[in-house]
Chains A and B, each alone.
Chain A
């Protein structure tokens, strides 16, 4: 079954404590992206990756890091989380063809206190 898997689904952490949200896809997709969803703001792209070792900033990259060492994995790293990073995060993957549907993970609800 085609899947994008994010972990954890829910996370409460304290300001400044480094955390990683994992994302894995089983479709051999080239593209992977991270979005954050906030009420009234829709989904905003944080980072995206067009292939292994190729990443680029989205619209709201400050405070986040990513890496793409393997095609299937695209972790999101918050080195020093702050309360304004409390949000719902989605990972997505898609193939290079325009006819390939984007698949989204189930989301990670992060609360930073």
Chain B
């Protein structure tokens, strides 16, 4: 069965610093991977997704993620953090042939951005 592990429940960076949020997956089939963001008191919003077309995936708000099969990783990065990036981030894998109908989520990483 598929699963995802997010390393670090809390990450704190300074404004302007690199953001790196880690996600490793376990899957017996080629995975479809996603990053979602949750701002306070809101639902989840898709940041980006990997569906085998390209290993480097660009998303919204300057985020990107690289799929590395050899490392079973899909880490999320952003070159320069903004205060508005403070949120909780979830990595997810699709359990249903790519459709996001049946997503398995990691436990989340809360990103804090210091001025």
Contacts and interface: CB of A to CB of B under 8 A. Distances in A.
Interface of A: 4, 30-33, 35, 40-45, 48, 50, 58, 90, 92, 94-102, 104-107
11 contacts: A31-B99, A40-B107, A42-B90, A42-B105, A45-B102, A45-B103, A48-B102, A92-B100, A98-B51, A101-B46, A102-B34
A31 B102 contact: yes
B115 interface: no
Contacts of A90: 43-44
Contacts of B44: 43, 90, 92, 102, 104
A35 to B, nearest CB: 8
Contacts of A41: 107
A94 B101 contact: yes
B51 A50 contact: no
Interface residues of B, number: 27
B104 interface: yes
Closest 8 CB pairs of A and B: A98-B98, A31-B101, A104-B43, A102-B100, A42-B107, A43-B105, A94-B100, A104-B44
A23 to B, nearest CB: 12
A107 B99 contact: no
Contacts of A97: 98-99
Nearest to B106: A42
Contacts of A96: 99, 101
B43 A43 contact: no
